[in-house]
Amino acid sequence: MVNIEDAPVGKLPKIENEGVSNLLMEEILQMVMQLPSRMRSVFNLHVIDGYKHQEISEQLNISVGTSKFHLHQAKLKLQEMIELQDKTEQPKK
């Protein structure tokens, strides 16, 4: 398992999102580090390391469904963080 802080930037997935494009990679990595431990572990294994849910379930001793649930929750939480960050950085009209 690769720690998100140690992951080479080239291994990180390309993110297609207008809000994300305004963020620095360091900010995104900090958001990932704020995820609860199990969510962060599943996210790192799936997104960064490229493991399949079956492999993650075996490594973390959880069901495949639980792995998928944690990944989904991690993505939702990151999306919320990105949207909040984007709103706080937008200039007021």
Average pLDDT over all residues of the chain: 80
> Which residue's entry shows tokens 């998100």?
4
Please name the fold of domain 30-88. Answer: Arc Repressor Mutant, subunit A (1.10.10)
pLDDT in tens, 49-84: 999 999 999 999 999 999 999 999 999 999 999 888
Residue 44 CA: distances (Å) to CA of 19, 79, 85: 21, 16, 21
pLDDT band with cut points at 50, 70 and 90 for residue 1: very low
Give whole-number Cα distances, 53 to 20, 36, 60, 70, in Å. 25, 18, 10, 10
- For residue 9, what pLDDT is reported? 43
